[in-house]
Structure 1
Amino acid sequence: MATGKITKRSVDAIPVPDRGKREHLWDDTLKGFGVMVTDKGARSYLVQYRIGGRGAPSRRVTIGKHGSPWTAEKARIRATELLEQVRRKDDPFDAAKAKVAADKAVKAQQAASAVVSERLGFSTFADRFVKNYAMVNQQRSWKETQGIINRDLKPALGERPLPEITDADLVELIETIGERGASPGLKAYKTLRMIFGYACDKERRHMPPAKSPMLGIKPPSKAGKRERTLSDAELRLAWMAAGGLGWPFGPIVRLLILTGQRRDEVAGLAWQEIDKAANHWLLPGERSKNGLPNLVPLSPSARAIVDDLPVIKSDAGLLFTTTGDTAVSGFSKVKARLDASMLDLMRKEAAEAGMADAALKRLKVEPWTLHDLRRTLATGCQRLGFPTEVTEAVINHVSGSRAGIVGVYQTYRYEKEKRAALEAWARHVLEAVSGRPAESNVIALERRA
């Protein structure tokens, strides 16, 4: 048995043994540390040890192959660590075996997840649903179902695996589609119920029937209206949770709270729409849902958010973009993060107030959508004493034709009243967040890193 100081030179000098043989060099200073050379010329560092006295069998643990990253010096350090484990009766062989098993389990889980993603990606599965179910059972209406899927559902859900789609995601999606009218929202709801029902029937291993996210979702009303508004306590949690989202979604959510405009209108904000001198945002008609422009006065709190934003290089002049060409998207995941953060805050504060663990576990965030923030602002402004025509003007919810000079007139109508309403609303939000009367109408914002 060859012994000597294990160094790069001594390891490289070990001759390649005959076919079927192994050659070893054992370190003469660190007992149990060695190098093995195969008949193929592969050189590996290892540790040999025995736990339990001379009668116990000896074991070997391979450290790694000679070369990067395992130099003789690094292998010696690792061997010292392993031999210290042996001294403490902690068998490195068992630890290595457990790590191999854990790595194998992780790979198996990753492989299973890949299969789920491939089979149950929403768009892929929806196509399978149309082919295997809709075309068979909806001979007269399957094309309409396919159109709903392609137009409204695929763009929003993409290839997200069905087991990862939550009820909150679907509530927000149905609500967003429902903004176009009662019929599209109801059709989207029915189509989603059929798709997830079919998935729970055909993919029970990954989608057991009790796990369908559509189970607890009620159909949108025939009038296409929702009554959900956030309480001041919920508004406070949403504001605070938005602060943890960071740029760009944190500022977007807070501007939604303060302005009452639609999600995509805020997300698509461009610098040319902001008049800092006049302190307002002029939303052009081509970007609004009803095709009508809207003048949105900026409260000091909203203006502070805008002033604190980084200027991103964008030919379109977008405030919120990660590509430079298009506005940010992916609000379903953002909403899930927001809800999770709200729940964490709720439970933390309740625990600090002395709530029992069992009660803490029962706490939950009631389903809501970003669109509900518009209704919350409108309702809140009316509670503050502003008339309906002013709140409708604020959120650009005005009926009738506003073409030509009339359109220009209506765009700037109620400007003073809208400014007063939005500033009063911002003060109300500040009081809800801080829990005390606002001393100013500027809401404190976190500094941007």
Structure 2
Amino acid sequence: MARNKLTATQVKAATKPGRLGDGDGLYLVIRKDGGKAWVFIYVRNGKRKEMGFGAVGSGTGRVSLADARVKAEEARSILGRGGDPFLEMEERKARKKPHTFEEAVAALLKSLDGKWKNPKHEAQWKMTLGAAYCKRLLKKNVAAIDTDDIVAVLQPHWKEKNETASRLRGRLERVLDYARVAGWREGENPARWKGHIEHLLAKPEEKLKRGHHAALPYIEMPDFMKATAGVTGFGARALEFLILTAARTGEVLKATWAEIDLDAAVWTVPKERMKAGREHRVPLCPRAIEILKAMLKVRISDYIFPGLKEKSPLSDMTLQKVLRTLEYADRATVHGFRSAFRDWAGDRTNFPREVIEAALAHIIGDEAERAYRRSDALEKRRRLMDAWANFLDGNKSAKVIQLKK
């Protein structure tokens, strides 16, 4: 196979992202940020592998074209006698002891201390990167983890638990990126999605189409609300309040009385409990206010919807129990009611898209656009939520106010 195709001038002048081959497995990789590095690609035991030789250059820690060719020749020699360059190249043998994937995970998580949105977020990372999903990787040298290993971890869960598996892929990519920066591995990241794993596993959006959370058609919502009104208990009231406000489960169940302004009919959810990480004001319709006043009469804690244990909120399983009681559990999920609201607002009203998305606490537009809308969005959303409450009450012909542009 031809070798020594590149010249030092070509290496210095190359700017277009991609790869330039020097021949027989040695490549110059140009990243989108302009960085350049040497990669040696080879096949061993039927598996394609990539081994990084270092960043391009002539300074300390840099690798020139001539140096890269010397490294490539050593790797070819090892392969020629059936060896493994990853383990046998003299430069690599001189380095400190290898690090396992488990050690890389621990180091990454330690670097993220104080940056978690909440304890649950941290626990999810630890669980998915631990024995529950990554048992086969834990004791493996992080430098030796390849594409086959990543696919083997993800594939068993990709169809049935696609959202979890998709998040796990992103976390695996973070771990391996950390290991590369720490000097524990080299080469491209085998867990990256674009241009790599996407060709081996179905795209997440092909699995997570709208309706991933089963949702009732909005036309059935008035009947559902009527049935819910006939169920007693904190769970039924919490579910009703959740639907009226189009809020997420955690936002409702952990809501406290300090967040409610009954006079202004506004519920202010702190940024710590919001998925987007920013404070969200929710306009309260008359029926939502009625629910709050009824709960205030039986108040036993700071939580609006208290649980059985002292100083704890209602369990999300209590909301699921309401669905089972009403025999809707096989057709609907609690989170799916947000989809019902979104479909109704898009199909049956003329409220602008940005007002509808704001009601769902979705962030849209750039920073300047969001700042421009911030001052008047609350009252526009109040009219939207009042219209939603009227619809849920069975007043399907309720007039929807045309908003001026």
Q: How high is the TM-score relative to the length of structure 2?
A: 0.45
> Which protein has the bigger helix share?
1
TM-score, normalised with respect to structure 1 = 0.41
Bigger-Rg structure (1/2) = 1
